[in-house]
Structure 1
Amino acid sequence: MSGSAADIPNFWFELPPGFMEFDLEEEPEARIVRMTDAAEALFAAVPPEQKFSLVVSGEYILQMMIAAGAEHVSSCLLRMPDDRLSQGTLCVIVERPEAGPAVQDRRGSAQRTAVQWRELYPDAEVGLVMLPYGISTLCIRDLELEIPGVIFGLKESVPAVVRQVQVCVPLKAGPGSVLLVFVTEDREHWAEYLTVLTGIMKSISAEEPGAEDSVGAERPDTGGMEQGA
């Protein structure tokens, strides 16, 4: 992450092509205009109503993530194999306990998170995964949302079902963890999104991207997009 090492952990990940990071201080109206312009430029042949619906519902999800304390939010606009426009939103939340041991039991932390998630979300897929960074907890579930109709120019709320992935990564640098949350309405192309998310999770590192290059190490081509969180 960028910032002082005194209060921000050394935790980095890389975004694949297609993701756009948001300024969390930006006004929602300005964000919607930027996303609409991007959708129009990238997907001119897609019906306007589809682009508008994706941008507006994506903004609602983004605002939910910011309200939850996200320190990074990015969105992707992807063209799927059937030539359909698809959108997803990624956020990163750093969970910092007020007190704790200098070195945490990362496996124990991941196991406790898995137990909590299984109790909270009995219908979800919950398990432990071993990433290059270390052991983490994964949760996949579907959520039913009621998006306020006013943002679509309607009186009634608009129901939506989204698929959410949560990955809780216990930190190496001390107590606490990083929670990555990805949400999309496009459950039809879930396999494609899993491929994208797998790449992001495998890129998680305690070292700033590019540091290895200075000593001649080889790194995979990620399209030139890198992001600290």
Structure 2
Amino acid sequence: MTPTAGSSALTVPPISSAEPPPVWFLTPEGFFALPLADDPAERVERAESFVRQLYSRGSEEIWAPAAPTYATLAERIGDTGVSYAALGLFSTSEEERTPTGDVARHDLSEGAAQCAFTLAAVPTEQEAGAVDVVAQGIVAALSKDTFNDVQWLDLPCGPAVSCVTWRQYQLGPEVTAAAEPTDFVTAEIQVHVPFPTGPFTAVFTLVTASTDHWTQFVDMMGGILQTVSFADPVEALTE
């Protein structure tokens, strides 16, 4: 489960003075962005496109009922303040890899690893450029929970704080159709990146139940974080 190099550039644009400044980053092939949009008609249109990408081998029988479901999900996610959300689907079949180890295509017939990925901008009180102070405060706050694995990161865009958390749930037979309760384990990595351009912190979250592939997901998150920028990369190239 090795994603290819970043395939899409994403921007969280400012809408008003109360909105966070823009942030740019790349996601790997295999990420399918949920149809977040303020306008209901645009959300429906994006949902129809989303299901055709997600179920690329499907038909109208699959796409038609799925699109409204994802449009509703996107509306609810958008109401939480999330600016970007995606589902990541990756083949676990070694036969579907290229000679360099990259995933040739997201053919999931031989098994799949999946994750959910979101970005939210959280207001934080900070003076312009005081990103180290904010990051230190985040470290102190997250470290209070002994179950959190908290680390300081030095990214190309500035300081950041990562927090890894594992959770175990017990699912009853009515959910799993098994005779006995079943343990369900998830792993989450959440990375807080203070904006140098305004009083906000970008919170990137990746969560998965495909814990056998946790190392690859951590590497994937690391690759995404290396592309985070608070300045337009296109403008930087033309300067």
TM-score scaled by structure 2? 0.65
Query: Residue in 1 aligned with 2:15?
Result: 4
In structure 2, the residue matched to 1:75 is 87
Q: Does 1:117 align with 2:142?
A: yes
Distance of 2:76 and 2:143 partners within structure 1:
23
Q: Which residue of 1 aligns with 2:57?
A: 41
Contact 2:166–2:188 (8 Å) recurs in 1: yes
- Which structure has more relative contact order (CA 8 Å, sep 6+)? It is 1
Q: Counterparts of 1:72-151 in structure 2 under 5 Å?
A: 72-82=84-94, 84-97=111-124, 100-120=125-145, 122-145=146-169
Please tell me whether the aligned partners of residues 65 and 91 of structure 1 are also in contact (alpha carbons under 8 angstroms).
no
How many correspondences in the alignment? 193
Aligned pairs for 1:1-229 within 5 A: 1-4=12-15, 6=17, 7-24=19-36, 38-39=54-55, 41=57, 68-82=80-94, 84-97=111-124, 100-120=125-145, 122-145=146-169, 160-214=184-238
Question: Contact 1:39/1:77 (CA < 8 Å) preserved in 2?
Answer: no
Deviations 1:103-140 (A, max 9, x none): 152112111111111113x1221011000010001001
With over 3 angstroms needed to count, the CA separation of the structure-2 counterparts of 1:205 and 1:33, relative to structure 1, is: closer
Tell me the CA shift for residue 41 of structure 1.
Answer: 2.9
Contact 1:14 1:209 survives alignment (8 Å):
no
Which residue identity is paired with 1:116? A
Q: Which has the larger radius of gyration?
A: 2
- Please report how far the alpha carbon of residue 39 of structure 1 lies from its aligned counterpart in structure 2 after TM superposition: 4.9
How many Å apart are 1:68 and its aligned residue? 4.2
TM-score by length of 1: 0.68
Distance (Å, rounded) in 2 between the aligned partners of 1:9 and 1:185 = 32
Displacement of 1:143 after TM fit?
Answer: 1.9
Question: Aligned pair in 2 of structure 1 residues 151, 9: CA closer, same or farther (>3 Å)?
Answer: farther
Cα distance in 1 for residues equivalent to 2:75 and 2:47: 11
- The Cα of 1:212 is off from its aligned counterpart by 4.0
Query: Aligned AA for 1:2?
Result: P
Give distance in 1, aligned partners of 2:24 and 2:154.
17
